[in-house]
Every structure is written in structure tokens, then in C-alpha cells.
Structure 1
Amino acid sequence: MGSEAGLNQFVKENSRRHLVLRFDDIEKPIVGQKEVTSQHIDQAIAFAKDAERLLVTCRAGQSRSVALAYVLSCQSFGSTLAMGMLNAKRHIPNQLLIREAARILGDPEMENCFQKWRTAHAHLKLSDYYDEINDEVSAFEQTGIVNQISIE
């Protein structure tokens, strides 16, 4: 979630447990913005451990949540298989989150695989799909649902 976002009632009422991590979608420090920390990553890994079903989401579902889902998938399935979840027309995984997770976990292959994927898809521009994605997110938010990391 963005650093200012709040948890909605739907999640409180419909999930057995949930974890909300608040940090902004930035890849380098920006005054007034909150970057991902090792504590966020540690909390997410601990929360996801032994989970049978896991939903990881953020406002648009294209950067922070995708990066965290990739990190968690790397833990369970390895980097090569985890890359299969990435969709270059929809996802721009947050590099700072992946870099920080790879450092914390001592797993350089996690970042190396991601960088190879990123290079292979550098010709695609998410901006070509942004209006469509933004419309989807806006319609979703109009239902009253605010995204968060949640498990059912």
C-alpha cells in the first residue's frame, strides 16, 4: 500500500489474516516518500511462510505487489520458475524491492533473473497500456476496495 493508504473494512471482515505494508512505489529515495525496507521484506516473508494461498496486491498491481510476489515465489519455487509469473505488458516490478530482497536473502540469482527478464522485455512500454490499466484500477477502487497484502 502507499504510505498514506488505510485498510478497508472488506479485508477486515473477509480475510482470516492480513498484513499491510506501507511504502511508496519508488526506486530511489524521494523526499516525502517512504521506501521499502528490510523490515517490510522480512515481515512479508514471515507472513507468507507456509501459506497455502496468498494474495499480494497494491494499488495498481503492477509494481510493488508484483515485485513482492516475485520475491516470495523465488523463495518457494526458485528464480527461474518465479519469472514465469511476470507479464511484461502488465508488470514493472519495483527494482528497489527486488534488489533489497536479494541482498537480505543472500540470493543474487533473484535479482540476476529479474534483470535478464527486464532486458528481454525492454522494448515493451507499459505506457502503451497505462490508460487501460488505470481504468481497471479506478473501476476496482470505485467498488470500495483498497488493495493490500492479504491471505484468505
Structure 2
Amino acid sequence: MQDHPNVVAVQDALDAAGAATAAGEPSRVVVLDDAVHTAAAAAEALGVTVGQIANSLIFDADGRPLLVLTSGAHRVDTAKVAALVGVAKLGRATPEFVRAHTGQPIGGVAPLGHPKPVRTLVDRALAQYDVVWAAGGVPRAVFPTTYAELLRVTAGDAADVA
């Protein structure tokens, strides 16, 4: 699984960005034994709190993709986020829309490694954690990072999304 094209693309993007963990080491994609399709499952597999999981949620923002990286402890307030980004409606993206814009499946969407940059909001709630875990391109892959690194490597905007 470590050589899956999506995992390789995410690791390549992490390397190109010089992404680091809280300890200052290069951020590396880790492949888990089982798929973790939810923040709760990922937290359990990693032995961390659900709030430390950066859910990567793709929304359809008037036909354009919007990636919201939210704490696993939150639900995105779509009306609030729509107002933040200036769209009339923020809708749940179809699996086809997600794959077309990220190249990755729902449940494994990483914050980076997409064919083209995707506008990104990063939940300010993630800032309270020294270590944040994000998806690595497939449902079994994750990588450790920090809130500051998520902002930097995604060129994302800090936002209150819940």
C-alpha cells in the first residue's frame, strides 16, 4: 500500500513542501492495518483524541471544490463556511466530484497531493494540538503534522468552520 499512487503523490507533495512533524522530523505517510473512514476510527487506530484528526472534507462551492480541514471533533457549519468563502450554497460533493478534483477517494482525501491546488480552509480548533493527523491519499494512510504546517503546505486559510 505504501507504493499506491495516491500515497506516493501525497508523500512527494510532503517532501516537496519540506513538511515536518512537531518534532521537526520530515512528515511521513504511515499505512495502517485497516481502513479508517471516520475520524473516530482513525483516532482509535492511532491512540489519539478524535480532535487531533484533521478531516479532509471536499465541498461543492458553486461548482468549485473547497477543501475544509476540520477537527474530527467538529461538524462543519456549511452556512457559516458558505458565507466565509462568498458562495450562495456549499453542498456535499459527490464521490465523482471529489475524485475529479483530488484524485483521491472519500475517506482518504489528503490535504495535498491533488492534481491542481484546491482552495483550503483549516479549522482553528486544530491549533490546540501539538500533533495533528491527516489522511494520506487512501483510507488506510495517514501522516502526522502540525496546524502551522497544514496552513503552510496547503496555502490554506485559518477559519472557524464549526
TM-score class, shorter-chain normalisation, is under 0.3
Q: Higher relative contact order by CA 8 Å / sep ≥ 6: 1 or 2? A: 1
Higher strand share: 2
TM-score for the superposition, normalised by structure 2 = 0.25
Larger Rg: 1
TM-score for the superposition, normalised by structure 1 = 0.26
Higher helix share: 1
